[in-house]
Amino acid sequence: MNIYTLIMLFFIIAVYLVETAANLLNVKNISNNIPPEFDGYFDREKYSKAQEYLKANTKLSVISSTFFLTAQIIFIVLKGFNYVNTIAVSFSFGTILTGLVFAGIVFSAFEILKIPFSVYSVFIIEENFGFNKMNVKTFISDLLKSWIITAIIGAVIFAAILWLFANVYRYAWLYAFAAIVIFELFITFIAPVTIMPLFNKYTSLEDGELKNSIEEYAKKENFKMKGLFKMDGSKRSTKSNAFFTGFGKFRRIVLFDTLIQKHTVDGLTSILAHEMGHFKLGHIVKHIIFSSALSGIMLFIFSLLIDKAWLYDAFFMRTQDIYAGIIFFSFLYAPVSLIISPILSYFSRKHEYEADLYSITTYRKPQAMINALKKLSVDNMSNLYPHKFKVFLEYSHPPVLERIKAINRIKLG
Ligand SMILES: [Zn+2]
């Protein structure tokens, strides 16, 4: 074993330890006291059920990450990548096709190993806690559809990057960057009308009190909507959500049918005002710019490392093939992402506070918003007392009690 392998394994293990520590601290932080804000929302029984739910999910996540860590280490140390490459090369295809076979084998193996964990998550945990509405048929068809979509999108991007790095020597990363940004924008525009309907049914929100309330608010705020949709989230889970997607012609607001069933018109309009806030405050554009910049930086670093022998030595590869380099580079990305993801999460939480503020100052119904947030937390069995370290590492939304406190501090003139 060479020093590069050891350094790389050290990083993989370090990431695992940090994430596992956050998970364990999070479970230790559970409190038996129902916060006074939730009086009348959580009864003792439901509250302890929510804590059991957190424990069950944490246990599964620790078991699965331990399994994948072990599998990765064994695969790397037994020179698995070099073995997969001998299979890929044996077809005598050109570089791009060989690369697609190589990546295809690696990713298929990973996807197949993931299946038992998602089966357990959906049919044991979600089922036992009364969330699951999915039957085996939906589960399998979801899996197949997402595989086909990922395979098509992944193959196109992977082939494009391979082609650029093999044919445009100078500034290949810059061309690859441009290609990825164009592709990302394309997907953002068309996903709501092409990909998402493959998984769920979207129907226009029917006329009535709710639609009137939302349209009236949107008109007052000069917000042009291209569509207000109801999604059949109840097909998979009793959990609820609302989101905003697409741009321009494809811009649409989507409410889960499960959300509509459980909330008041004022509560739902507050939630939508929050979603519109994300748009009005430029959060969505900021997010696209930031993640594009990130892919640009990654591709640039990749272009510097691609021909370094140590990258291939670390994974016991006998040849230096760019397609394998891309996969190895993604391993180096794990420790980098441990640093980047808290930064992204920090900004995401900041945006959540801003969108709440937007909702309260424009729709002006703080109590309706607070009640909706409480109801959402109870219905989705959210953890009311997440550990600070867990929040720091990966929480895209602030813990609900802090959101409520922040809303209570807003002064309406
Ligand atoms: Zn939000």
Q: What is the pLDDT along the chain (413 residues), one digit of tens a residue?
A: 789 999 999 999 999 999 999 999 999 999 888 999 998 899 899 999 999 999 999 999 999 999 999 999 999 999 999 999 999 999 999 999 999 999 999 999 999 999 999 999 999 999 999 999 999 999 999 999 999 999 999 999 999 999 998 888 788 899 989 988 888 888 877 888 888 889 999 999 999 999 999 999 999 999 887 788 999 999 999 988 877 776 666 677 889 999 999 999 999 999 999 999 998 999 988 988 888 898 899 889 989 999 899 999 999 999 999 999 999 998 888 888 889 999 999 999 999 999 999 999 999 999 999 999 999 999 999 999 999 999 999 999 999 999 999 999 999 87
Is residue 230, in this structure, part of any structural domain at all? no
262: in domain: no
Q: Are the C-beta atoms of 4 and 310 separated by less than 8 Å?
A: yes
**Which pLDDT value is given to residue 250?**
66
By the 10 Å C-beta count (0-12 exposed, 13-18 middle, 19+ buried), 370 is classed as buried
- Cα of 27 from ligand 1 centre, angstroms: 25
Whether residue 116 lies inside any domain: the answer is: yes
Catalytic residues: 275, 356
Determine, yes or no, domain membership for 223. no
Q: Which of these, 380, 350, 341, lies nearest to 129 by C-alpha position? A: 380
What per-residue confidence (pLDDT) applies to 188?
78
Q: How far apart are the CA of 373 and the centre of ligand 1, in A? A: 11
Q: 275 alpha carbon to ligand 1 midpoint, in Å?
A: 6
Give the range of the structural domain holding residue 158, as residue numbers without chain letter.
3-200+281-409
Return residues with CB closer than 5 A to ligand 1 (ion). 352, 355
* Residue 240 covered by a domain: no
299 within domain boundaries: yes
Q: Is residue 119 part of a domain?
A: yes
Identify the pLDDT of residue 183: 84
Q: What are phi and psi for residue 79, nearest 5 degrees? A: 60, 40
Single out the residue of 351, 357, 364 nearest to residue 398, CA to CA: 351
Contact 252, 226 (CB under 8 A): yes
Are the CB atoms for 192 and 245 separated by under 8 Å? yes
- Gyration radius of the chain over CA positions: 24
- 206: CA distance to ligand 1 center in Å? 24
In a domain, 154, yes or no: yes
Binding site for Zn(2+), by residue number, is 274, 278, 352
Q: Which of 271, 288, 287 is nearest to 360 (CA)?
A: 271
Supply the pLDDT for residue 216.
94
Number of structural domains, the chain? 1
